[in-house]
Each structure stands twice: as structure tokens, then as C-alpha cells.
Amino acid sequence: SQKIEQNSEALNIQEGKTATLTCNYTNYSPAYLQWYRQDPGRGPVFLLLIRENEKEKRKERLKVTFDTTLKQSLFHITASQPADSATYLCALSGSGNTGKLIFGQGTTLQVKP
């Protein structure tokens, strides 16, 4: 069955460092992959989308890579700030036209000042 794995352990890093979060998937060939941020008690907020034929996407301090051979996406936050502390979710979608997203369980990032 389709499976998405994100590191369930919290990631603790020092302010100013680069945070790298991992999303691995099996038994799936997504057409595109999305990353969302979720703060406690709130709904997820879209951050970035990357297509299967793209290797890398950037937006300000955020960078996403997508390796369909390794079946893995990496999400980087450079020059991290305490305000970046949140849970980050990856989500995969196929090429069908249903809009269905399959989410990972998320990785919680804690940036210490």
C-alpha cells in the first residue's frame, strides 16, 4: 500500500542553522509533491509545490528537492528562526484530476534562539 514517511522525532536546531526535513514514500508515483506548515491548533498552510520533472524549487529561505529515483523529498529552511518552529507536512498527489492529497504524519521542528 502507499506509504509516506516523515521523521516522527522532533528536529531541534539552533537559530541560524539550516533545517533539513525528509519525506520518503513507497508504492507511489506522485505527479507532484507539496509541503505544508501546521502550527498547534491551526490548519495546514501551503508552502511549496514541486512537480515530478523538477529537481529543485526555492522560495525565499525555503528549498525543496524531489528525487523520484530515491522516492524522496528534502525540505530545507536556511537561516532558521524561532518563528519557523512548527510541524511540517509533506503531501503527494497523482496525475489524476481528483485533487486527492496523501499526507505524511509531519515532522516537528523546534528552532532554539
Task: Mention every residue, 6+ apart, whose C-beta is less than 8 A from residue 89.
Answer: 6, 35, 36, 37, 38, 44, 103, 104, 105, 106
The least distance separating other proteins from the CB of residue 16, rounded to whole angstroms, comes to 28
Q: Which stretch, 11-19, 20-28, 61-69, 102-110, contacts other proteins (CB under 8 A)?
A: 102-110
Does 97 bind other proteins (CB under 8 A)? Our answer is yes
The least distance separating other proteins from the CB of residue 109, rounded to whole angstroms, comes to 14
Do 60 and 35 contact (CB within 8 A), yes or no?
no
- Report d(CA 21, CA 64) in Å as an integer: 10
**Contacting positions for other proteins (CB under 8 A):** 31-32, 34, 41-46, 49, 51, 87, 89, 93, 95, 97-103, 105-106
